[in-house]
Structure 1
Amino acid sequence: MHRAASLLLQYPDQRWPAHRALVLESIGGLRGPAAEPLLRFCRRTADTPLLDLAAQYATTFDRSRRRTLYLTHYTDGDTRRRGASLAALKARYRQHGWEPSDGELPDHLPAVLEFAARCPTAGRAVLHEHRGALALLATALASHGSPYLDVIRAVRATLDEGVRRL
């Protein structure tokens, strides 16, 4: 599910329709708290022209600090401490033999999700450490009425798997 969410949270360029098709092919027959929101997001965006989707993505994630995909922004803001957090995250990736390939900062949620897909134990730990950021992002996306909320719901559902609720 992490790889699927990573693909769907990437900027919708010319590769994005193929990413959505891959997600649908991979998880189309699955059910559950992580799969269903991803499938719903794919259905909601299926008929949206790519340029409209790109504009919606920019408005959603690039024009609001409350809805950023850079996870350390929620914990560190634009401070010197954020630089140390980014360096530590990059070192963690290297420790597990992985480095983001797209030139993004290591705290960019699609990169973190890709890491979680490739290195599940270490990646889930990173996502758990940023649960608060994911919750804040979900709240902001809900207020914005964004379909991307479903992708964040799916990610958060993967963190709840195996957690016994009282």
Structure 2
Amino acid sequence: MRYWLMKSEPDDCSIDDLARRPGSTVPWYGVRNYQARNLMRDQMQVGDAVFFYHSSCPQPGIAGIARVSSPAYPDATQFDPASPYHDPKSTPEAPRWLNVDVQFVRKTPLVPLAELRSHTELANMRVLARANRLSITPVDPAEWRFITRELMGLDNDGI
């Protein structure tokens, strides 16, 4: 099993929105970065654990835990001219963009970005890297354990 951090703007989809969805599952649509797309396509597996991260909001941080619940498949928003994620160069025969489905596991107390930055144990965490703009980043198992146990107070890995 691998561990991931996936960013979502809570105005678009928050951890609470995910929890209320039928089956508590949502497609992780709108990824328009090749590196993030390749992570979904080449490395993500059903069952992988996800930190659900609220971004572009007054208090960014980890708001919950989810799991990958589908393999990567073509993101339908790329074909929709009305979507802000429309890509006119992408076709159903040759899609450029993919998404995976994620399923709600639990809401957690918010772990703010400033809190993540304050711990030397997380100094190499990709989301904290200077100029990191990726919406999906891998999380080292030791970082996952530190966050779930020390910062969230869970007695296991949260999944």
Q: Same fold (TM over 0.5)?
A: no
Identify which of structures 1 and 2 has the higher relative contact order when contacts are C-alpha pairs closer than 8 Å and 6+ apart.
1
Q: Which has the higher strand share?
A: 2
TM range (shorter): 0.3 to 0.5
TM-score (norm 2): 0.35
